[in-house]
Structure 1
Amino acid sequence: GVTITEPARRMPWGLVELWIEDPDGVPIAVIEVPDDHPLRRRG
């Protein structure tokens, strides 16, 4: 299993981030780009 080190939350720059740590201690960011974020409008 993994350990959640930072719960999911919307960051000041607008992305939703969740941080986990794998069994070897490697940090991993899981990031969601919300529908209203400027990155969604790139084309």
Structure 2
Amino acid sequence: MLKKSISTINKMILSIRFNEKKVIFNNSNIYQTIAEIDRSKKPKSY
């Protein structure tokens, strides 16, 4: 019984960490996209 609950908790922790990695990855993609948009804007502003 206790072993089963521990493995369930471990699975939950792993899935949370995986989701955090996905969120961080998505955020870095968003920042990269914003940086690219800024770069494409700059030549036009000069």
Question: TM tier, shorter chain?
Answer: under 0.3
Q: Which has the higher contact order (CA 8 A, sep 6+)?
A: 1
After TM superposition, the score normalised by the length of structure 1 is: 0.21
After TM superposition, the score normalised by the length of structure 2 is: 0.20
Q: Which protein has the bigger strand share?
A: 1
